[in-house]
Structure 1
Amino acid sequence: MQLTEHRPGDHHIIRQAAADLIVVDDQRFTRSLIVGARLLESDWPVSSYDDLDASMIEPLLRHRPEVVLLAMGETQCFPPIELQREFLRAGVGLECMTVPAAARTFNVLMSENRRALAGFILKPR
């Protein structure tokens, strides 16, 4: 087993997560966003799975992560099968989760130096 020392600042950390709020490092977000180790796109214009199409998932696929955590609300749900196939075609794993579960999983993946992104679809306030 390889052990890696992580120091603050190596990657983003999600400090708080709810269906309508994410705190990344020390920044609060109430609109949907995409987070990676050193990536933070806070202008992802998605408010539900109904908004997802090929153009909306392109920012998740363009960085060629190993896995994408797609999170919405506090009840697990899945995007249309056509969009799930896009991840498969791109060779990118897709995990659909609740916002709190995806936040916890994201932090674990970052601590393992994994190439992962999380797309958080937040409920408008």
Structure 2
Amino acid sequence: MHLLLERPDYRYFLRGADGGSALVNDRRLTASFIIAPDTLLEDWSAQDARRLQPADLDPLLALQPELLVLGTGPTQVFPPAAVLAGCLQRGVGIEVMDNAAAARTYSILAGEGRRVVAGFLLP
């Protein structure tokens, strides 16, 4: 089997995430953050999916995604219905999953050239 290290053609690539941290490029992040292929916003103030307000997603939506991926920590936790409705009213799809699944999903979509933005909740 022949393996090649292929770097994506965008600035920030997510190597993986779990309930406590994420690896972006070669940096370990331990606080909630927002990532898009060419944007990294560290220290996002959100920490608990159950307590999210629609305004908490404004920094993600400002990046004009077609799809938003929300990583909610070590387990999948759905935010309040108003948060989900806020995305859908703007015509933006939203997928909610645990951080590991969100990292895999985000990486696939970014690799396909999709306009995807992800928010990861970390303690």
TM beyond 0.5: yes
1:77 corresponds to which residue?
A: 77
User: How many residues are matched?
Assistant: 118
Cα displacement (A) at 1:48: 0.5
Q: Secondary structure at the match of 1:65?
A: coil
Kept in 1: contact 2:51–2:79 (CA 8 A): no
1:8-38 CA distance string (max 9 Å, x none): 4524211131101001001111000000010
Greater shift in the superposed pair: 47-56 or 107-116: 47-56
Kindly indicate whether residue 66 of structure 2 is the aligned counterpart of residue 41 of structure 1: no
Equivalent position of 1:3 in the other structure: none
What SS does structure 2 have at the residue aligned with 1:117? strand
Structure 1 distance, partners of 2:16, 2:61, is 25
Deviation at 1:54, TM superposition (A): 2.6
What SS does structure 1 have at the residue aligned with 2:31?
Answer: coil
Residue 36 of structure 2 aligns with an amino acid whose one-letter code is G
Alpha carbons 2:67, 2:117 under 8 Å: kept: yes
- RMSD, matched Cα: 1.5
Structure 1 residue 7, shift from structure 2 partner: 4.8
* Cα separation, 2, equivalents of 1:16 and 1:107: 9
2:3 corresponds in structure 1 to: none
Moved over 6 A (4+): none
Which digits, 9 at most, give the CA deviation of each residue in 1:71-114, with x for residues without a partner?
Answer: 11222121100111100111000000100000011110111000
* TM-score, normalised via structure 1 length: 0.87
Q: Does the aligned pair in 2 maintain the 1:11–1:110 contact within 8 Å?
A: no
* Residue 28 (structure 2) aligns with: 28
Aligned residues: percent identity? 38
| Shift in CA distance, 79/26, structure 1 to aligned 2, threshold 3 Å | same
1:9 to 1:27, Cα distance in 2 relative to 1, 3 A: farther
